[in-house]
Homo-oligomer: A and B are copies of this chain.
């Protein structure tokens, strides 16, 4: 279950020294990639180096003023410490990079602007159980450090969300390679935030499906399913709120690492964050009224059962009473007043007729009340 996304992550013990790097269990071994670029980089000069360690880092090529260093896998505290030393990262930044349960946030430090975002594990959310909602949405953390001439990214795994940006940079599409680290950071941010749209649309589809079939499904099971969806949406909302705040903070910040000209683009990013939040809230409100409908449907089923019982019992109870009366053993021989009907020639038929008349009358009455008219 993933009610609380950051559970089962290891965090530093209470009272540990601030800046302690606590490697998560099962974290991958780190891999480093380095891309250099710059406003005057000639076409085709952008290259992509995979590094074994930071010591192997080549110098920046000519006309390449900027550096994107990507670290995939946070399983080795030593590597993180080396990167931290090389780029003068604050110990608290390193602690937050390693502890992958951060909420999205933005923090200004002397050497860089530190950004945390979360990316959905798309695979997890599409792999759905047969009946009911599997509820396996999982998000991973990506940390960005935006400096004057570098961008660092730290991923738990190699996220597909970053691939298009890397490609645009390597193939020198658009002006991405000519702009600074802040624009690259924006491009990464934008790519990650947009990844949530298809994920969210699955929830929307699921909610609409439920809405369409709400009258047919078992209310009890339906409520559980709605509850599961709601919980997922709650988890998403807990990511989208701080994510929106983070982008808004970037937008208003006067950080030395974010140029004015990038603000226009961040505003677009902010728009998308708000749309995500908006969609989640709409979904949530819809699920809330789904619960109402399901409860009413449950109550309705009870009504139907009760009506059934009432119709059958109401019809047969008087008939049985008549049968009971003529089953009494009063002795007609002792007195002419004792059950003379029993000796009457058409007594039996009269009794049967009386019974069918009563049954018919009641049926007609129920039909007029709409209890059986609306059924067939």
Residues of A bordering B, CB below 8 Å? 1, 3-4, 6-7, 11-18, 90, 92, 95-96, 102-103, 105, 107, 109, 161-165, 168, 173-174, 176, 186-187, 190-192, 194-195, 197-198, 201, 204, 207-208, 211-212, 214-215, 218-220, 223-224, 227, 230-231, 234-235, 238, 264-265, 267-268, 271, 274-275, 278-279, 282-283, 285-286, 289-303, 305-310, 312-314, 316-321, 323-332, 334-335, 337-339, 341-349, 351-352, 355, 371, 374
Question: CB-CB < 8 A to A235: which residues of B?
Answer: 282
A267 to B192, CA, bound (A): 25
10 A-B pairs closest in CB distance = A15-B164, A323-B324, A14-B194, A326-B328, A15-B191, A335-B345, A309-B310, A327-B327, A330-B348, A316-B317
How many whole Å from A216's CB to the nearest CB in chain B? 11
- A1-B211, A13-B164, A302-B306 are contacts. A289–B230 as well, Cβ < 8 Å? yes
The dominant DSSP class at the A interface is helix
Chain B minimum-CB-distance residue to A302:
B303
Q: A14-B195, A15-B161, A328-B329 are in contact. List 6 more A-B contacts (CB 8 A).
A: A299-B302, A309-B314, A327-B329, A331-B343, A334-B344, A335-B347
- A187-B18, A191-B15 are contacts. A286–B3 as well, Cβ < 8 Å? yes
- The reply to whether A345 and B351 form a contact with Cβ atoms under 8 Å apart is no
Question: CB-CB < 8 A to A186: which residues of B?
Answer: 18
Copies of this protein chain in the complex: 5
- The reply to whether A293 and B227 form a contact with Cβ atoms under 8 Å apart is yes
- The reply to whether A165 and B15 form a contact with Cβ atoms under 8 Å apart is yes
- The reply to whether B316 and A318 form a contact with Cβ atoms under 8 Å apart is yes
Question: CB-CB < 8 A to A328: which residues of B?
Answer: 323, 326-327, 329, 342, 348, 351
- The reply to whether A346 and B335 form a contact with Cβ atoms under 8 Å apart is yes
How many whole Å from A329's CB to the nearest CB in chain B? 5
A235 to B204, CA, bound (A): 14
- The reply to whether B312 and A303 form a contact with Cβ atoms under 8 Å apart is no
Chain B minimum-CB-distance residue to A309:
B310
A300 to B224, CA, bound (A): 13
Question: CB-CB < 8 A to A326: which residues of B?
Answer: 328-330
Q: Which of B190, B191, B192, B223 contacts A296 (CB 8 A)?
A: B223
Question: CB-CB < 8 A to A102: which residues of B?
Answer: 271
- The reply to whether B324 and A317 form a contact with Cβ atoms under 8 Å apart is no
- The reply to whether B313 and A309 form a contact with Cβ atoms under 8 Å apart is yes
What are 5 sample pairs from A and B whose C-beta atoms fall under 8 A apart? A4-B282, A219-B296, A223-B296, A326-B328, A329-B339
- A14-B161, A303-B298, A316-B318 are contacts. A345–B339 as well, Cβ < 8 Å? no
A316 to B369, CA, bound (A): 22
- The reply to whether B298 and A298 form a contact with Cβ atoms under 8 Å apart is no
Chain B minimum-CB-distance residue to A295:
B296
Question: CB-CB < 8 A to A15: which residues of B?
Answer: 161-165, 168, 187, 190-191, 194
Question: CB-CB < 8 A to A191: which residues of B?
Answer: 14-15
A275 to B285, CA, bound (A): 23
- The reply to whether B343 and A347 form a contact with Cβ atoms under 8 Å apart is no
Chain B minimum-CB-distance residue to A105:
B271
A355 to B317, CA, bound (A): 14
